């Protein structure tokens, strides 16, 4: 991750420790939109985090962030992805480890089981092209929005980001 992007991620994680996961989810949804997905659904409250559809494919993405080496994949995550798979979405997991030498890992979640999974292990299942798109666009979206998220610092940055999602015509069912 570029230094400026990393510093922004770090700052956001420090300022909004409880909302950080959701912040990343929304920023990732915006990044996917920027990558060219025409249909993006971002579920902020419940369900699989993001649905994607477009020329790049049809995916359901569960977003995870961590400060350590592992992410927690819960039973509900696996069952949620399985349902989306049934609906024709390829299940993916997007993991972001907060570290200067880290970046988004976007991996096939088809064989995922509920457990603690090493982010490094996920890299073995990475979808390289789509992952690159996410990394690049996430950094851009982040640099564009992080200053506003930080400086305007409303009670919940989610409220602000919801308006951005709306402006980008990203559905937020909840």
Partner 1 sequence: MSSFTLNSIRIRGFRGFVKEEVVSTQAPCVLLSGGNRSGKSSLINAIEWCLFGKKVAEVTTYHLRERKDWQILNRNSPDGYVELTFASDTETLIVFREIKKKGAANFYFQKNGGTREQDEAALHALLHVTPADFLSLVHLHPEIIRSFVVEQRRYREDALNRLLGLSDLENLIDGIQKVSSEQFLASFDSKFEDVEIRLEERLNTRQRDLQQATDTAKADAIEESLFNEAGASTICGEIAKRLTEFSEECDVPTPSLPNFMILTGQRTFLPTARSTLENLRIKHPSVQSQKQLISEQQALGNLRDAYVESATKLQDQEKQLKKARAKETIEEDLKKARTRLKQQKDRLAQAERTAKILSEALEYFQKFAIKGSIRCPLCLSDTTAEHVREHAEQELAKPLFRDIQAKIAEIQKHIEKLEDELDGRCRLEQAAKRWQKKTQDNALEIGKALRRVLTSKDDPVAILEKRLQVIVEQQNKIQASIQRWHERLEIVNGSIAKLELILRILDFKQQLDSLSRVSQTPAFASLQNARTAAEKFVADLDTLSASLVTMVRDERRSKLDAVKHEISHIFKNLTGRPDFANLEIDLDDPDLSVSVTNQSESAKATALLNQGDLNCAALSIFLAVAGSTGLAHRLGLVILDDPGQSLDTHHKARLAEVLNSLCERKQLLIGSQDDEFIELARQAISKKKKLLRFTSWDPNTGPVLETE
Q: Which residues bind partner 1 (CB under 8 A)?
A: 1-4, 6-7, 69, 99-102, 118, 120-121, 123-124
**For 124-129, which contacts have Cβ atoms below 8 Å and span 24 or more sequence positions?**
127/92
- Cβ 40 to partner 1 shortest distance, Å: 29
Query: Smallest distance, Å, CB 136 to partner 1?
Result: 14
Which is closer to partner 1, CB of 1 or CB of 109? 1
Residue 1 or 48 having the CB closest to partner 1 = 1
Determine the Cα–Cα distance for residues 45 and 127; give it in Å rounded to an integer: 26
Minimum distance between the CB of residue 130 and partner 1, rounded to whole angstroms?
A: 18
Q: What's the count of helices (H) and strands (E) in the chain, helices before strands? A: 6, 7
Phi and psi at residue 11, in whole multiples of 5°?
Answer: -60, -45
Nearer to partner 1, 3 or 88 (CB): 3
**Closest CB 170 distance from partner 1, rounded Å:** 29
**Alpha helices in 16-127, H assignment, sequence order:** 20-35, 75-86, 119-123
């Amino acid at each position: 991750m570029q230094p400026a992007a990393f510093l922004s991620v770090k700052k956001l994680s420090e300022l909004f420790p409880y909302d950080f996961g959701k912040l990343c989810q929304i920023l990732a949804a915006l990044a996917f939109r920027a990558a060219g997905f025409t249909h993006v659904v971002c579920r902020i409250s419940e369900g699989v985090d993001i649905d994607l559809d477009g020329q790049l494919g049809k995916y359901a993405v569960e977003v995870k962030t961590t400060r350590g080496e592992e992410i927690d994949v819960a039973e509900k995550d696996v069952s949620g992805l399985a349902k989306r798979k049934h609906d024709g979405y390829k299940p993916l997991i997007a993991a972001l480890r907060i570290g200067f030498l880290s970046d988004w890992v976007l991996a096939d979640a088809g064989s995922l089981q509920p457990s603690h999974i090493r982010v490094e292990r996920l890299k073995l299942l990475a979808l390289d092209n789509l992952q690159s798109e996410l990394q690049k666009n996430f950094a851009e979206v982040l640099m564009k929005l992080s200053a506003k998220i930080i400086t305007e610092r409303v009670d919940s940055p989610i409220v602000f980001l919801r308006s951005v999602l709306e402006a980008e015509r990203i559905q937020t069912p909840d």
